[in-house]
Amino acid sequence: MEVTEPVARRILVTGGTGLVGKAIEKVVADGEGQPDEEWIFVSSRDADLTSEAETKALFEQHRPTHVIHLAAMVGGLFKNIRYNLDFWRRNIHINDNVLHSAYETGVQKVVSCLSTCIFPDKTTYPIDETMIHNGPPHSSNFGYSYAKRMIDIQNRGYFEQHGCRFTAVIPTNVFGPHDNFNIEDGHVLPGLIHKVYLAKQNGSALTVWGTGKPRRQFIYSLDLARLFLWVLREYDEVEPIILSVGEEDEVSIREAAEAIVEAMDFRGELLFDTTKADGQFKKTASNAKLRRYLPGFQFTPFRQAVKETCTWFSTNYANARK
């Protein structure tokens, strides 16, 4: 008879049906999971994490030893500008409930997910992990940014007061299958993919919001997922770590749009609506700390990752566009 290994790690993933959660689930299923690990992916359907009681009940039910905390209220530039207070309140409640429930139920390690948009607006580049709290974030999304920064404060507090191993990762712009491809409130890359798809269907020009000049470091969700597993198993610092491609792999919005145009074989005109806001010009992050730990990590080439994402979107259009 087959001997099953005892479960050494029971890993609860909040926000488990989102972009990064789905990528982790796929990477685990495709052979990166270990026999002594049990993975539990939960979404807002399983518990409302803004509720202390529901969060506590979720942790009591699953009794995780480890947590990957991805759940958040998120949105693109234009949604953030409209609802800064909502982004602040909901994320503060979610984060406090998750971290405190983890502490109360004896979770050994929590890895939370921050974002490079939380860094100071006025800063020198490249940005590194020591600079998070050096000044106010960009005014467009201050609610979300300050709420995310507070995770770092709480991690420090739980470590100093209770010895907890709670840490955080800071990915750059994540994209991939299962993203939010909504044109109105999604992020730049999935929004562009949806726009190219529609422009191709309608035989119309493709209009990109802004000048196309801002630059971003994009990380493929499946690469990020593999790095999350490494952080969960190997990374022992409480201080956060930036998970990103190198500075030399930064691309402009125009270059990103051109990569999507090529991947989807769009033959129409490419236009830029310069009346629309650009957001921050750049947010260049240093991945030097990651490279010190993992000098040999191979990222998926940008154009290949874009191609795979476009293929997924086209194949799953009926569900993906929602």
Catalytic annotation, residues: 144
Helices (H), 121-216: 142-162, 188-202
**Beta carbons within 10 angstroms of residue 134's beta carbon:** 12
Question: In the block, which residue shows the tokens 């990915």?
Answer: 171
In sequence order, the 6+-apart residues with CB closer than 8 A to the CB of 187 are: 76, 173, 175, 179, 180
The dihedral built from the CA positions of residue 95, 100, 17 and 286, taken in this order, carries a sign that is positive
- Residue 191's nearest CA partner among 247, 245, 253 is 253
**Beta carbons within 10 angstroms of residue 222's beta carbon:** 22
CA dihedral 200, 188, 246, 282 (to 10 degrees): 130
